[in-house]
Amino acid sequence: MNKVITVLKGDGIGPEIVDEALKVLDKIGEKYGHEFSYQYVDIGGCSIDQYGVPITDEGMATCKNCDSVLLGAVGGPKWDNVDPSVRPEKALLAVRHELGLFANLRPTKLFPQLADASPLKQSIVGNGIDLLIVRELTGGIYFGKRTTGEENGEAFAADEMKYSAHEIERIGRVAFESARKRRKKVSSVDKANVLDSSRLWRKIMHKLAEEYSDVEYEDVLVDNTAMQLIRNPGRFDVIVTENMFGDILSDEASMLTGSIGMMPSASLSEGSLGMYEPIHGSAPDIAGQNIANPLGTILSAAMMLRYSFDMLEEADAIEEAVNAVLDEGYRTADTMQDGMKRVSCSEMGTLVADKL
Ligand code: NAD
């Protein structure tokens, strides 16, 4: 197969980790007879520096006109005080919106080799953590109406959390379909005791639960979910939730696994076009030192093969290669422990590519 991938390296460690994912993709192409061609677009701070905007119109068109998008990360202190309308993160929201990427899949898996890196006790993580967070990505408070002004002589600001029925239903379907390929359990997370948007969310999820009667279903309040993720993460299979709750819970969940650097994600549209990225940010504190963990980005590339290109065997091969490299004791700084072999970002990429 020939596939065109738009590559958004971004800022901070973005270029370093993306280069390692491309190294692995090239090896897959060589081994399985595929041709991956890359079209590079500046995004985030580097684009602001060059063009004054976090992504140009041409860059956005390139993102739309490809088979899939691979992203590193954007942002950094240099751009913290730029005008809010051109902040680096604006480009991410715009790409998600323009490409219709409504479903964000974040698998949270504790690699057994890294069990000691989890901040939780063995008695809690001993049975493993393997859950999938399905986060709604193009609705809710991050895309709602914003109002700022003055009222009764003081400043105010308001952000609207709005969901329409079809937005809830389509993300619900992604969750139920995903659960069917896993342990067949969906936990729908909301705040229905307070929010109207959550009450609509719950009503629609209940309808879907009847339709997908082979899948076990539960409602969990978001505050309780935050607690359960620490107390008993093994109880979850698929968690489905709205945009902001998913943003917060998925970062919490990622920490259970020891390092944010290990976690991939996929953002899917209604077609095959998706955007794949590690869940972490641009890590300005370690940028340019060749010490970042590239595995989250490499595993994101594996998700790209699985979800956008239907290359299941190739995706499995990458995941097995990552496992094998961890089994052999290789670790980047963030997951380093006594008795292990410390490697750089680029060495880790080469080790995974060589395993293929
Ligand atoms: P971060 O995820 O960049 O870093 C948090 C901590 O985790 C840091 O100590 C960092 O060194 C470490 N870390 C992150 N990725 C790592 C990796 N691959 N290997 C080893 N260690 C890693 O979060 P932050 O510091 O809050 O944000 C930094 C910048 O990134 C900010 O400008 C923020 O807005 C931006 N950001 C971007 C995205 C994105 O592009 N999708 C997501 C989150 C934050």
pLDDT tens digits, residue range 139-193?
999 989 999 999 999 999 999 999 999 999 999 999 999 999 889 999 999 999 9
Contacts of 175 (CB under 8 A, 6+ apart): 134, 186, 188, 238, 240
Question: Is residue 244's pLDDT more than 80?
Answer: yes
Evaluate if residue 116 carries a pLDDT over 90: no
- Measuring from atom 11 of ligand 1, which residue has the nearest CA? 283
Q: What is the distance in A from the centroid of ligand 1 to the CA of 13? A: 9
Selected catalytic residue, list 80, 223, 316, 327 = 223
Residue 110: the pLDDT is 85
What does the pLDDT average to over 227-234?
93
- Asked whether the domain spanning 119-131+163-257 has the same topology as the one spanning 1-112+259-356, the reply is no
Q: Pick the catalytic residue from 142, 217, 276, 330.
A: 142
Distance CA(14)–CA(345), nearest Å, equals: 12
Q: Which two tokens stand for residue 6?
A: 């738009």
Q: Is 316 a catalytic residue?
A: no
Residue nearest to atom 36 of ligand 1 (CA): 281
pLDDT tens digits, one per residue of 308-320? 999 999 999 999 9
Set 109, 247, 276, 330: catalytic member:
247
> How far apart (Å, rounded) are the C-alpha atoms in residues 275 and 68?
6
pLDDT recorded at residue 315: 95
pLDDT of residue 125: 80
- Please state the rounded mean pLDDT for residues 86-113: 91
Note whether 95 and 101 are within 8 A (CB). Answer: yes
Tell whether pTM > 0.85: yes
Ligand 1 mutation target, pool 92, 106, 260, 348, most atoms within 8 A of CB: 260
| pLDDT at position 126 over 80 | no
Closest residue (by CA) to atom 27 of ligand 1? Answer: 281
Q: Which of the residue ranges 255-264, 275-284, 318-327 would you say has the lowest mean pLDDT?
A: 255-264
pLDDT band at 98 (very low <50, low <70, confident <90, very high): very high
Q: CA-CA distance, 240 to 258, in Å (whole number)?
A: 22
* Probe target for ligand 1 pocket from 101, 282, 293, 344, with the most ligand atoms within 8 Å of CB: 282
Tell the residue number behind the tokens 């896993």, with chain if given. Answer: 182
* Number of neighbouring beta carbons within 10 Å of residue 16: 24
CA distance 204 to 34: 41
* 190 backbone dihedrals φ, ψ, rounded to 5°: -150, -170
Give 280 Cα–ligand 1 centroid separation in angstroms: 5
In angstroms, the CA 26 to CA 205 distance is 41
Cα separation, 122 vs 128, whole angstroms: 9
Nearest to 68 by CA among 310, 309, 300: 309
- pLDDT band, very low/low/confident/very high, at 129 (cuts 50, 70, 90): confident
Within the chain, residue ranges assigned H as helices are 14-32, 45-51, 57-64, 88-98, 122-125, 165-180, 196-211, 222-231, 243-256, 295-307, 312-327, 345-355
In ligand 1, the atom with minimum distance to the C-alpha of 10 is: 40
CB neighbours of 227 closer than 8 A, spacing ≥ 6? none
217 part of the active site:
no
Model confidence at 44, pLDDT cuts 50, 70, 90, reads very high
Question: Maximum distance among all alpha carbons in the chain?
Answer: 68
pLDDT band at 113 (very low <50, low <70, confident <90, very high): confident
Mean pLDDT of the chain: 94
CATH of domain 119-131+163-257: 3.40.50.2300
Which pLDDT does position 109 carry in this prediction? Answer: 87
pLDDT over 90 percentage in the chain? 84
Q: Does 258 score more than 80 pLDDT?
A: no
The active-site residue out of 27, 191, 217, 276 is: 191
223 is catalytic: yes
Ligand 1: centre distance to CA 147 (Å): 29
Any residues with Cβ below 6 Å from ligand 1, and which? 13, 17, 73-76, 89, 92, 260-261, 277, 280-286, 292-293, 296, 334
Each residue of 65-80: pLDDT tens digit? 999 999 999 999 999 9
* Region of residue 153 (left: phi > 0; alpha: psi -120 to 50; beta: else): left
Segments making up each domain of the chain, as ranges: 1-112+259-356, 119-131+163-257
pLDDT exceeds cutoff 80 at 128? no
What is the CA(289)–ligand 1 centre distance, in A?
15
Backbone conformation region of residue 216, classed left if phi is above 0, alpha if psi is from -120 to 50, else beta: beta
CA distance 197 to 278: 29
Please state the atom number of ligand 1 nearest to the C-alpha of residue 17.
Answer: 18
CA distances from 42 to 10, 15, 23, 88, 296 (A): 6, 11, 19, 11, 21
**Which fold, 1-112+259-356?**
Isopropylmalate Dehydrogenase (3.40.718)
Mean pLDDT of 105-133: 84
Atom of ligand 1 nearest to the CA of 334: 20
Which pLDDT does position 39 carry in this prediction? Answer: 98
Annotated active-site residue 247? The verdict is yes
Residue nearest atom 30 of ligand 1, based on CA coordinates? 281
